[in-house]
Amino acid sequence: MSYSSFRRHAFTLVELLVVIAIIGVLIALLLPAVQQAREAARRMQCTNNMKQLGLAMHTYHDVVGSLPPAYVFTGDTTHDRIALWAWGAMLAPYFEQNSAYDILEVSSDSAVNAVNKGAKRKVIQTPIAGVRCPSDAGPEKHNDSVANRKYRDTIADVNRHGIVSNYVVNNSSGQIRNDRGTPNGKADGAFFRNSYIGFRDLTDGTSNTILIGERSYFNPLSGNNEPQGAMFWGTSGYFDNDGKGLGAVSAGGHRKINCPENDQCRRSYTSMHPGGAQFCLGDGSVRFIPETIEHNTNAAVNSTFEYLLSISDGNVIGDY
């Protein structure tokens, strides 16, 4: 038998191009599915992070009798950027950060002193995976070169770069405020300066009240990529009627979720999850709230998202 009968033919150029085209189409079809699967995994991890923070809130409440304050004001009004311990520092022993809490001596030393001591500064600068959303690609530490640094604090100042967090507590259904007084709005959320709010005060029900929400490092809908994010250990006593120091650790409902106005969104809720953001409620559950939720940004508390932020508005909350 002749060997020529078994001669093999190579691919023609046309056949090769067809195969390449088919492979390209398959990759194009599979890539979105792969990306969606990765985002689903990241969102699940973010959910777990918030559940752990919610559990820590409940444990703190069991021990102290209230939720932690947004930040602890020491009464020093002589420096507009004095570092102050925030809710993250208060929560640390109940969030697997016992060693860090002990080194920082949160209960006996001031944040001002901590940022100027080498060992304590190192703790403040050590990343904590549990306070970062995996979908957020921002840096591990804040950058002191950020303009308008009053939204951060001295813990983010030169040589004191504090870690970036993606989670903030609920201060208000409107503009963030230092206390629950009037006029010019009030902090009707669960966290403000030196707050001592207990679950007993959440008269709308724990399952109808937001405790924690997301804050991305970059605003996903803004063309201006000025960093924002949140702080974990502390904030600043930036003294003005708007309580701007609160913006580093808490948020208000004065802007919609993922609003496109970067400057205003710096003190509201943003995330890198498509279509909305994650929130931890008072009962410890975590809900994904879409950007399309009913949300009026006028002064009155008259929309579903505002009802979730206000702890005692008395309104009935429907589906969202």
**Sign of the dihedral defined by the CA atoms of residues 224, 230, 231, 235, in that order:** positive
Q: How far apart are CA 318 and CA 104, in angstroms?
A: 44
Which phi and psi (to 5°) does residue 35 adopt? Answer: -65, -40
Distances (CA, A) of 262 to 9, 137, 217: 62, 17, 11
Please give the share of the chain, as a percent, with pLDDT higher than 70: 78
The Cα–Cα gap between 10 and 13 comes to 9
Instruction: Give yes or no for residue 147 having a pLDDT over 80.
Output: no
Tokens 């691919």 correspond to 11
CA 301/CA 185 separation, integer angstroms = 11
Q: What is the pLDDT of residues 2-11, one digit of tens each?
A: 555 555 666 6
pLDDT of residue 81: 60
Rounded-to-integer distance, Cα 136 and Cα 132, Å: 7
Per-residue pLDDT, 241: 47
pLDDT tens-digit profile of 48-102? 999 999 999 999 999 999 999 998 887 665 555 667 899 999 999 999 999 999 9
pLDDT at position 150 over 60: no
pLDDT at 261: 66
pLDDT digits (tens, 9 = 90+) for 239-282: 444 455 788 899 999 889 988 765 666 788 999 999 999 999 99
Domain ranges of the chain: 41-309
- Position 60 scores a pLDDT of 98
How many CB atoms sit inside 10 A of residue 200's CB? 9
pTM score: 0.84
